[in-house]
Amino acid sequence: MNSQAINRRVLSIQSHVVFGYVGNKSATFPLQVLGFEVDAINSVQFSNHTGYDVFKGQVLQEKELADLFEGLEKNNLLDNYSHLLTGYIGNASFLRQVAQILKKLRQANANLIYVCDPVMGDDGTMYVPKELLPIYRDEIIPLADIITPNQYEVELLTERKINTEADIWAAVEWFHERNIDTVAISSSDLGKPGELRAFISKKNGPRFAINIPRQGVNISFTGTGDLFASLFLAHSYETTDLGIALEKTIASLQAVIKRTLEMMPTNMREGKCKVTSKERELKLIQSKDVIENPSVVLKAEQIL
């Protein structure tokens, strides 16, 4: 097989929505724009994300995941993949099946990179079954090359509260002790007022932090963590400089949010009326240019 054929192909296992952008819908287009083939397996398929008043759909079970993967395996397609990316998964047996899939992918390609976004919750709220937590912590996390949790997910996994930057770096070490090469904490509330702060660390390597201005008036966006994981997968594959990878990831993420806000009705954007779930959907297609060519404004700070 031509070595170029396996350079940029991602098997992405996470949620799917018919309308809107979360999970695979949030990750696939940016990866494709950045030159990656993406083969998606949906852990759930819903009409829309769960922030709407109503959602309908199906949760896939481990047998369905195993059947889909077996089809790839029987056709000798596993050595095509450069990456495995996982995001939202809704049940324990499905999550455990991911470990078996990863084992076979690494047998086919020893250089495969596993990017794990341990999607469990945010802002103090856990929105997956509690039995997934010990499976992530004890069985899945130690298999990852790159992990992209938010602050709350870090707290869940490490069983320690994050109050200071020292707490962040102690948590980072917890992951490195489990042989995770790169820890990218996508967001935390440790920034200055009006800012989030993201952190990145390579085992036995450099550490960086970056301050991210909050955009919108008390507007929260769904799918940004999924977008972060996909962008970081792509940019960290392009360069060995993790500071640059983080800067480009945040640049595109901020630009997508900015464009999403610009396309909202003015009264919503200014906080004069309630922002609907529909209007908060990320404007990914309209942001193709800023995904493909991120303009870096926010610089990462190297932490000694």
* 213: three-class secondary structure by DSSP: strand
Given a contact cutoff of 8 angstroms between Cβ atoms, the answer to whether 65 and 94 are in contact is yes
Q: What are phi and psi of 260, to 5 degrees?
A: -60, -45
* Averaged pLDDT for residues 16-29: 97
Residue 3 has pLDDT above 50, yes or no: no
* Averaged pLDDT for residues 132-143: 96
Q: What are phi and psi of 98, to 5 degrees?
A: -60, -40
What residues pair up with 10 in beta bridges, in sequence order? 38, 83
How many other C-beta atoms lie within 10 A of the C-beta of residue 261? 19
Q: What is the pLDDT of residue 141?
A: 96
Q: Measure Cα distances from 269 to 53, 128, 143 in Å.
A: 21, 30, 41
Q: What is the pLDDT of residue 271?
A: 80
In angstroms, the CA 112 to CA 100 distance is 14
Q: What is the pLDDT of residue 192?
A: 87
Overall size of the chain counted in residues = 304
* 50: three-class secondary structure by DSSP: coil
What confidence tier does 6 reach under pLDDT thresholds 50, 70, 90?
low
Query: In sequence order, what are the residues at sequence separation of 6 or more whose Cβ sits closer than 8 angstroms to the Cβ of residue 31?
Result: 10, 12, 38, 230, 233, 234
In tens, the pLDDT along 225-271 reads 999 999 999 999 999 999 999 999 999 999 999 999 999 998 888 78
Q: What is the pLDDT of residue 218?
A: 79
In tens, the pLDDT along 265-303 reads 988 887 888 889 999 999 999 999 999 999 999 999 999
* Averaged pLDDT for residues 85-98: 95
* Averaged pLDDT for residues 81-109: 96
Given a contact cutoff of 8 angstroms between Cβ atoms, the answer to whether 208 and 300 are in contact is yes
What ranges do the domains of the chain cover? 3-303
In angstroms, the CA 26 to CA 139 distance is 26
DSSP 8-state secondary structure symbol assigned to residue 8: S
In tens, the pLDDT along 26-81 reads 999 999 999 999 999 999 999 999 989 999 999 999 999 999 999 999 999 999 99
* Averaged pLDDT for residues 149-168: 95
Q: Is this structure's pTM higher than 0.75? A: yes
Residue 131 has pLDDT above 80, yes or no: yes
226 a catalytic residue: yes
In angstroms, the CA 14 to CA 17 distance is 10
**Catalytic residue from among 122, 226, 241, 289:** 226
Buried b (16+ CB within 10 A) or exposed e, 152-170: bbbbbbbeeebeeeebbbe
How many other C-beta atoms lie within 10 A of the C-beta of residue 1? 8
Q: Which numeric CATH code is attached to 3-303? A: 3.40.1190.20
Residue 214 has pLDDT above 70, yes or no: yes
Which residue type sits at 52? Y
Residue 216 has pLDDT above 60, yes or no: yes
Nearest to 215 by CA among 280, 143, 289: 280
What confidence tier does 10 reach under pLDDT thresholds 50, 70, 90?
very high
In angstroms, the CA 221 to CA 282 distance is 7
Residue 2 has pLDDT above 50, yes or no: no
Q: What are phi and psi of 23, to 5 degrees?
A: 55, -135
In angstroms, the CA 230 to CA 284 distance is 13
In angstroms, the CA 54 to CA 11 distance is 29
